Amino acid sequence: MTLDAKIPSGPIEKKWEKHRFDMKLVNPSNKRKYKVIVVGTGLAGGAAAASLGQLGYEVEAFCYQDSARRAHSIAAQGGINAAKNYQNDGDSIFRLFYDTVKGGDFRSREANVYRLAEVSNAIIDQCVALGVPFAREYSGYLANRSFGGAQVSRTFYARGQTGQQLLLGAYAALSREVALGSVKMYPRHEMLELVVIDGHAKGIVVRDMVTGKVSSHAADTVLLATGGYGNVFYLSTNAKGCNTTAIWRAHRKGAFFANPCYTQIHPTCIPVAGEHQSKLTLMSESLRNDGRVWVPKKAGDHRKPWEIPEDDRDYYLERKYPSYGNLAPRDISSRAAKQVCDEGRGVGPGGRGVYLDFTDSISRLGKGVIEARYGNLFEMYERITGEDPWKWPMRIYPAMHYTMGGLWVDYNLMSNLPGLHVLGEANFSDHGANRLGASALMQGLADGYFVIPYTIADYLAKVKPGTRAGVDHPAFKEAEAEVAGRMKKLLSIGGTKTVDEFHKELGQVMWEFVGMGRNEAGLKTALQKIPQIRERFWKEVLVPGSGADFNQELEKAGRVADFLEMGELLAYDALMRDESCGAHFREEHQTPDGEAMRDDEKYAYVAAWEFKGEGKAPELHKEALEFENVHLAQRSYK
């Protein structure tokens, strides 16, 4: 099977415009005859459901949270990029495009990225119109900041709560459609199966998480906007409920999973405090603008930080990357932190942490300036760790944060499975092997507000209105039976270990062998261990209660069961990709200074995996990547 990305012809600046004209439209009077299912109500799903409702489609939206407003997009702190060039500092659509392709280490699809940069400006306009209170100058104009090492100030922000504000904007728009009746909202509903009829995605099976009722929903097309799979690592910055089930179920039904090994680690998180740790908390990367990262030079130096003289400290980022110093890119600084901790030089409980020290900045700029810049982050740090960061240097450690991989989609955001569209973090399309700061929010909203409303019509126009199968179609009954059977099985095992214990065990394997630094031997070990854990899970797990009511353990069990399959695919992909690129670091492929070394000859492609059955090796399909506008170059942050 060949993967056709359906990239429009013509120069890159004209592709989207041309495509919008070439695509079919749905007659306005026919729109209400099409039913669209949207799963997930974060930035991508919420924006899509609202926009499609406005267009006149009959929309049903589902989320597992108790309200659409709580999707994990809400936790994004930093900001959202756009090529407005309000700062007159040389930004442009092309530059945003260029930076994103380069930041993705040449593993993303040029046409998609260009479109993302192109619609970025409209996103800001739309968000302001919806009442997003972006930060402003005293003049009343919008403020911008430079973010994640970008050379231009193109990031719009709303304090440290940009994701929250953008999501509330989309949620407000969605709420209006719910009030108008164009969108029917199903909170506390979890998608457990995708229904495929004659090779097309035509519905889903969901479980009402309050009553336990399993039901089917039929539609003309299904949109998955269910976020990333970072929780396969157990500890991550994701919300506890974030899961891979929706996209994994779709994958099992034939949708290809692309580049699962591209997982991003965030360098400035609060370290693990102990066994009880349930999630990791990210602190804005902006901290690195004024903090200096260091560890003791000698392993096992347990002196208090202020007792360690300058000569015994190793400011390793400044030492290794003199020009970027403490602002070295996410993956580089994350790996460097892991390395010094592996050498036994880590600080804090468990030795998994490095200092982020503001002493110099405080003496240079004064406490007031630092407080104005980072006061809320200092407060958050103290609340969580109980340590006063004005006295002790902060301790930070990298944590799993964002997944660039996801279901494969073409230029129309449609998977290889016709009728299945995938949006936001759940797809693989725009960030390549690494994502730039403040680009996730941009992509989610681009997909939801400004891409899918056009491209969905191209699919629907080919579907005859009124031909949709009802939920009494055997395919729905079959899927419902599958879901019921799976839940029954989980509940009946009656083993001795809890779901969390298996999840933690999986997470440890993933973090150790498929985490920041990967190598062949480690990946092979992971590929051995994961199926073993999975096998034991299905024999020894203990899921209390019944399926017929509110049962959080049952919810978790289903998700972890899918992670136990997904994790294996992630390891397969990481093993197959015998190069280092972006956030995927194969220790075998690095320059003498520890920089990632790509292999463009062999791996300049998207790896799209096809599910071949439980316990069977997945099949690899390749979509070759061509770079016509941005020239392949090795990254250097020296």
Partner 1 sequence: MKLTLKIWRQESPSAKGRLVAYPMDHVEGDMSFLELLDILNQSLIKKGEAPVAFDHDCREGICGSCGFMISGIAHGPQKLTTTCQLFMRQFKDGDTIVAEPFRSKAFPVIKDLVVDRSALDKIVQAGGFISARTGSGPDANAILIPKEKADKSMDAAACIGCGACIAACPNGSAMLFTSAKISHLGLLPQGQTERHQRALRMVSKMEELGFGACSNHGECEAVCPKGITLEFIARLNRDFLVASVVATKEAVKKV
21 binding partner 1? (CB under 8 A): no
Separation CA 107–CA 581 (nearest Å): 8
Question: Residue 378 Cβ, how far from partner 1 at the closest point, in Å?
Answer: 14
Query: Looking at 3, 142, 471, 576, which residue binds partner 1 (CB under 8 A)?
Result: 142
**Interface stretch with partner 1, choices 46-54, 351-359, 392-400, 519-527 (CB under 8 A):** 46-54
Closer residue to partner 1, CB minimum distance, 236 or 427:
236
536 binding partner 1? (CB under 8 A): no
Q: How far apart, in Å, are the Cα atoms of 578 and each of 206, 260, 495?
A: 39, 14, 39
300 binding partner 1? (CB under 8 A): no
Query: Looking at 62, 171, 256, 392, which residue binds partner 1 (CB under 8 A)?
Result: 171
72 binding partner 1? (CB under 8 A): yes
Query: Looking at 199, 213, 273, 633, which residue binds partner 1 (CB under 8 A)?
Result: 273
Q: For residue 233, which of 531, 493, 512, 23 has the smallest C-alpha distance?
A: 512
Say which residue the tokens 């969108």 belong to.
183
Q: For residues 573-612, which are near partner 1 according to CB under 8 A?
A: none
129 binding partner 1? (CB under 8 A): yes
Question: Residue 637 Cβ, how far from partner 1 at the closest point, in Å?
Answer: 29
| Neighbour count for residue 358 (Cβ, 10 Å) | 23
Q: For residue 226, which of 63, 413, 24 has the smallest C-alpha distance?
A: 63
Q: For residue 146, which of 289, 265, 290 has the smallest C-alpha distance?
A: 289
178 binding partner 1? (CB under 8 A): yes
Closer residue to partner 1, CB minimum distance, 28 or 140:
140
**Interface stretch with partner 1, choices 69-77, 356-364, 458-466, 475-483 (CB under 8 A):** 69-77
Is the CB of residue 163 less than 8 Å from the CB of residue 47? no
Closer residue to partner 1, CB minimum distance, 239 or 571:
239
Please, what sign has the CA dihedral across residues 206, 208, 211, 215?
Answer: negative
638 binding partner 1? (CB under 8 A): no
Contacts of 308 (CB under 8 A, 6+ apart): 296, 301
**Interface stretch with partner 1, choices 392-400, 423-431, 446-454, 583-591 (CB under 8 A):** 446-454
Q: For residues 185-244, which are near partner 1 according to CB under 8 A?
A: 185, 187, 210, 237, 239-241
Question: Residue 606 Cβ, how far from partner 1 at the closest point, in Å?
Answer: 29
3-class SS string, 156-185? ECCCCCHHHHHHHHHHHHHHHHHHHCCEEE
Question: Residue 174 Cβ, how far from partner 1 at the closest point, in Å?
Answer: 9
Contacts of 552 (CB under 8 A, 6+ apart): none
Q: How far apart, in Å, are the Cα atoms of 94 and each of 9, 56, 255, 503?
A: 18, 34, 32, 43
What is the per-residue DSSP string for 509-542? HHHHHSSSSB-HHHHHHHHHHHHHHHHHHHHHB-
Q: Which two tokens stand for residue 269?
A: 């998180």
559 binding partner 1? (CB under 8 A): no
Q: Which two tokens stand for residue 83?
A: 């090529």
122 binding partner 1? (CB under 8 A): yes
Site string for partner 1, 487-516 (x = CB under 8 A): ---------x-x-xx---------------
Query: Looking at 151, 528, 552, 591, which residue binds partner 1 (CB under 8 A)?
Result: 552
- Could you confirm whether 330 is annotated as catalytic? yes
Question: Residue 550 Cβ, how far from partner 1 at the closest point, in Å?
Answer: 4
Of the residues 69, 330, 534, 586, only one is catalytic, namely: 330
DSSP state of 188: T
Local structure of 613: helix, strand or coil: coil
Instruction: Decide the pairing of beta strands 605-610 and 257-258.
Output: antiparallel
**Interface stretch with partner 1, choices 171-179, 292-300, 405-413, 612-620 (CB under 8 A):** 171-179
* Angle between helices 162-180 and 110-129 in degrees, nearest 10: 70
Question: Residue 266 Cβ, how far from partner 1 at the closest point, in Å?
Answer: 13
Please, what sign has the CA dihedral across residues 530, 532, 538, 540?
Answer: negative
Closer residue to partner 1, CB minimum distance, 316 or 378:
378
Question: Residue 141 Cβ, how far from partner 1 at the closest point, in Å?
Answer: 5
Site string for partner 1, 79-118 (x = CB under 8 A): -----x-x--------------------------------
DSSP state of 255: P
Closer residue to partner 1, CB minimum distance, 16 or 316:
16
List residues bridging with 258 in a β-sheet: 406, 608
Total number of residues that touch partner 1 (CB under 8 A): 81
Say which residue the tokens 């630092």 belong to.
370
Question: Residue 292 Cβ, how far from partner 1 at the closest point, in Å?
Answer: 25
Closer residue to partner 1, CB minimum distance, 434 or 443:
443
Question: Residue 634 Cβ, how far from partner 1 at the closest point, in Å?
Answer: 36
Q: How many residues does the chain have?
A: 638
- Report, as residue numbers or ranges, the catalytic residues: 330
